[in-house]
Chain A
């Protein structure tokens, strides 16, 4: 009997939770705010679903109810992706070490 592909996805999911657990515990507490903004940005990879939805219309009708929701989701996820990565970049650029020459 073949294994349902769902089981493979479930395995990836469970293992990723463990990876996430260990990786996040090693994040230094002073970077917890950037951690939140970057997790925000990467969870917007949900845009891949939105793109599929947006492109689901055919050439006769680009806009149907389903693709309109897709387009809206694309815009929302894009705000998050650009906003999230850029604001993280901006924050991380501020973390500086003590100058040695003092």
Chain B
């Protein structure tokens, strides 16, 4: 048994280690060390908790057993999961944090003496407020992440689900959560506590169903943020510094990522959260649906163009992840480099289904990270490049975002692919992208469409090089 003051100091130490873990991510070189700081912080926090409870009865064995069970499941998942499934995995993990927060809150509500919070039915007011906020946010995180997971996994359709009166209904539920928390705190009734949890689960579910697949980067970041606020709420209840610091870190981290993602789409956070984007029939597009000529080619033509180029820029998107084409792509690039062709990669902030999705896939395929550039870093280079190879991206290359104020994506930062001498566009068909609008790039004089599966086409090009 160690004193409360000493354990508080250790919790502070682990909070600081968590800050260092995030700090490490400022560059790939320091990131691995950062992760070790995070692990160390976690070990300290868990050990100190054992020592401060000091109850090494048979319950202790069960705690270890459950840590082992959970730990081995987690480790197994971490080793088995393919990198393309990372968005689903992260969404799944968020749901677990949310549910764990709910369970801890239930536990504390049923047995407040164990946490020094008063007696059942007479819990300290401050603790009860913190606990119910933590539980509500945790429940929203849980059910919201489950929906995000199902959509990313493809079990549930990625298209937005909307119905009449959706927004008023959500607003009423959100207001009722606030009222429920108020009533719960004034009556201490356990029935209200259960109702609060049920309503929070429901709203998490309702909030995410209207949001479409390509908006998932914002949703995942937002849920990341929520899981942090839930942890912080529980941290206040338990008076635990490590948990409060971590909750604040994770909460602001998720909020910043959501902001970056919204900016990458030039849409407000509320526009994304209210959902329904891409579901509405595009009126501007359907009026001018005349058939425009498209130049299409095969792997041979593409190989010829690239062989005669001196610099090539690759623009990957979600389609590359779907086709698992990253390894084939890297092989193609290796062949290009052997022919002394300069190759770099251009990544749009919202390419893929989560922040940094493309970077991880390219890293998996052994692409050195110093060949991979962000939008601002590389956008001026398109004008000097010979070939742009667009693989699985669409809306993020659409020049309409710069030219047509009527377009739903007007103002969104896009990659200036059309400035390249020639553009190779790998796509399965001419179908519009997520925003439901036609891509002008398809019809440009210098664009060659390669209609095929991304992986197969890339392999064929490599053969022809």
Contacts and interface: CB of A to CB of B under 8 A. Distances in A.
Interface residues of A, number: 84
A73 B253 contact: no
A45 B357 CA distance: 25
B103 A40 contact: no
Interface string B20-31: 011101111001
Nearest to A27: B25
A49 B238 contact: yes
Interface in A69-86: 69-86
Contacts of A14: 248
A16 B248 contact: yes
Given A50-B104, A52-B53, A19 B19 contact: yes
Contacts of A75: 66-67, 69-70, 73
Contacts, number: 382
Contacts of B235: 46
B83 to A, nearest CB: 7
B220 interface: yes
Interface in B221-250: 221, 224, 227-228, 231-232, 234-250
A2 to B, nearest CB: 15
B86 A39 contact: no
Nearest to A41: B38
B359 A31 contact: yes
Nearest to A93: B32
Interface in B61-92: 62-63, 66-75, 77-79, 81, 83, 86, 89-90
Interface stretch (B41-49, B265-273, B378-386, B388-396): B41-49
B25 A73 contact: no
A95 B19 CA distance: 21
A89 B244 contact: no
B249 A30 contact: no
A37 B49 CA distance: 24
B22 A20 contact: yes
A37 B224 CA distance: 9
Nearest to B23: A23
Interface of A: 5-6, 9, 12-14, 16-17, 19-21, 23-59, 62, 64-67, 69-99
7 contacts: A16-B247, A39-B250, A46-B231, A80-B70, A83-B74, A84-B78, A91-B363
Interface of B: 11, 14-15, 18-19, 21-23, 25-28, 31-32, 34-35, 38-39, 41-42, 45-46, 48-50, 53, 55, 57-60, 62-63, 66-75, 77-79, 81, 83, 86, 89-90, 93-94, 96-97, 99-101, 103-104, 106-108, 110-111, 113-115, 126, 220-221, 224, 227-228, 231-232, 234-254, 256-257, 260, 347, 349, 354-357, 359-360, 363-364, 366, 368-372, 374
Sorted nearest first, the 6 A-B pairs with minimum C-beta distance are A78-B70, A32-B356, A83-B74, A56-B114, A82-B74, A66-B111
